[in-house]
């Protein structure tokens, strides 16, 4: 039962939602806009091959594992352990790594037999809910949510992998200059390598997304999206800017797809659609059919323990705006992904950059 801060935060989110059933829906500035539409009737957690369901009764929570009742927890206990856990996270837990909280063993055993709340990597959603929709006066089941916590390190939205490599063709450098580029090993070597390349007036053109699967997934959103993301990625090293909302203005001014209308709104829409897809359904290494399995949106665990919801059902526009304002590009290991290492293939010269996206907080 050793979890890191983020995993303990996910347990806290579960306890808070079991204790307070009304979802607090917020806008992109995290201002409350709706707390009357959805009421939580039950929660699902998928762990390995087991599904745990927490059925919220008047004074207790009935816990089912694969449709079989395994325990019953009083609501007073939920409140007690929720407050205890929040206090531990805010005041006593170490910064990094995994660690036990002895006082939480009892409630963890009752709820999930000691298992983590977080689903395996094959699932986009961390938790699903059975909801009463007061707008339609209906019950909707298994509405998926992603949990993002400010109680731990900022969460990654898109993880770096071999699937997120973008390939660029470079020309106009001598062999000696290529050797010089590859030897640059300063603290800011990626920015310095690109500066050297640009100072030599070499020509850089986007070649392809190395992963055919990711390329296909991106083109499902927009046929020009691979080019747009490639320019966003390259521009982050040209300018040193990492915040996506600021990078949007840079790529809109460059306008590599030669859009004739309002370029900022065009690129904002394309990048917003991409961030939404990554949040709700798209995985780089799996063929995507365009469907969203995180149908509810994002559950935010704020630094004071407050639970807020960015809703994808009725208020999707606020979710997209939040994603644009609160994400950044991050440089993964340059050694692992050989970024800006110029190499030869069939007599032509190339380098790779890897796309990774993280929340700001």
Tell me the C-alpha distance between 207 and 278, whole Å.
23
Q: Do the Cβ atoms of 54 and 61 come closer than 8 Å?
A: yes
* Sequence ranges of the domains in the chain: 5-153, 162-291+312-359
**What string of pLDDT tens digits covers the 361 residues of the chain?**
788 888 899 999 999 999 999 999 999 999 999 999 999 999 999 887 899 999 999 999 999 999 999 999 999 999 999 999 999 888 876 666 788 889 999 999 999 998 877 666 667 899 999 999 999 999 999 999 999 998 878 889 999 999 999 999 999 999 999 999 999 999 999 999 999 999 999 999 999 999 999 999 999 999 999 999 999 999 999 999 999 999 999 999 999 999 999 999 999 999 999 999 999 999 999 999 999 989 999 999 998 999 999 999 999 999 999 999 999 999 988 889 999 999 999 999 999 999 999 999 8
Q: Strands 32-34 and 38-47, how do they pair? A: unpaired
Q: In what order do the strands lie in the sheet with 327-329?
A: 156-158, 357-359, 327-329
What are the C-alpha distances in Å from 120 to residues 21, 46, 116? Answer: 25, 8, 10
Q: Do the Cβ atoms of 234 and 251 come closer than 8 Å?
A: no
What are the C-alpha distances in Å from 98 to residues 18, 116, 230? Answer: 25, 12, 36
DSSP type of residue 22:
B
Q: What is the pTM of this model?
A: 0.94
For the chain, how far is it from start to end, CA to CA, in angstroms? 26
Tell me the C-alpha distance between 225 and 280, whole Å.
18
Q: Strands 68-74 and 127-133, how do they pair? A: unpaired
């Amino acid at each position: 039962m050793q979890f890191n801060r983020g995993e303990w935060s996910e347990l806290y989110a579960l306890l808070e939602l079991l204790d307070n059933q009304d979802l607090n829906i917020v806008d992109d500035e995290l201002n409350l806009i709706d707390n009357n539409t959805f009421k939580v009737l039950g929660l699902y957690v998928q762990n390995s091959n087991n599904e745990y369901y927490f059925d919220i009764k008047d004074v207790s929570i009935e816990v089912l594992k694969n449709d079989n009742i395994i325990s019953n927890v009083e609501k007073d206990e939920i409140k007690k352990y929720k407050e205890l856990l929040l206090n531990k996270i805010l005041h006593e837990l170490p910064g990094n790594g995994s660690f036990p909280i002895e006082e939480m063993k009892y409630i963890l055993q009752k709820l999930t037999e000691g298992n983590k709340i977080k689903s395996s990597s094959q699932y986009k959603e961390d938790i699903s809910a059975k909801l009463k929709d007061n707008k339609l006066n209906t019950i909707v089941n298994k509405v998926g949510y992603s949990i993002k916590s400010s109680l731990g390190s900022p969460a990654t939205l898109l993880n770096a992998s071999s699937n997120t490599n973008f390939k660029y063709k470079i020309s106009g450098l001598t062999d000696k200059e290529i050797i010089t580029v590859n030897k640059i090993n300063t603290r800011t070597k990626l920015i310095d390598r690109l500066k050297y390349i640009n100072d030599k007036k070499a020509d850089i053109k986007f070649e392809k997304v190395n992963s055919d699967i990711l390329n296909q997934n991106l083109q499902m959103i927009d046929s020009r999206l691979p080019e747009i993301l490639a320019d966003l990625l390259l521009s982050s090293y040209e300018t040193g800017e990492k915040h996506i909302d600021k990078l949007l203005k840079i790529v809109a001014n460059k306008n590599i797809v030669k859009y004739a209308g309002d370029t900022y709104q065009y690129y904002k829409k394309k990048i917003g659609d991409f961030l939404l897809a990554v949040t709700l359904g798209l995985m780089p290494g799996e063929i995507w059919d365009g469907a969203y399995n995180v149908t509810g949106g994002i559950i935010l665990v704020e630094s004071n323990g407050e639970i807020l919801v960015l809703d994808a059902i009725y208020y999707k526009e606020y979710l997209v705006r939040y994603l644009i304002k609160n994400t950044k590009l991050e440089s993964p290991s340059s050694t692992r992904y050989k970024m800006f290492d110029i190499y030869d293939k069939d007599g032509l010269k190339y380098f790779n950059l890897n796309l990774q996206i993280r929340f700001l907080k």
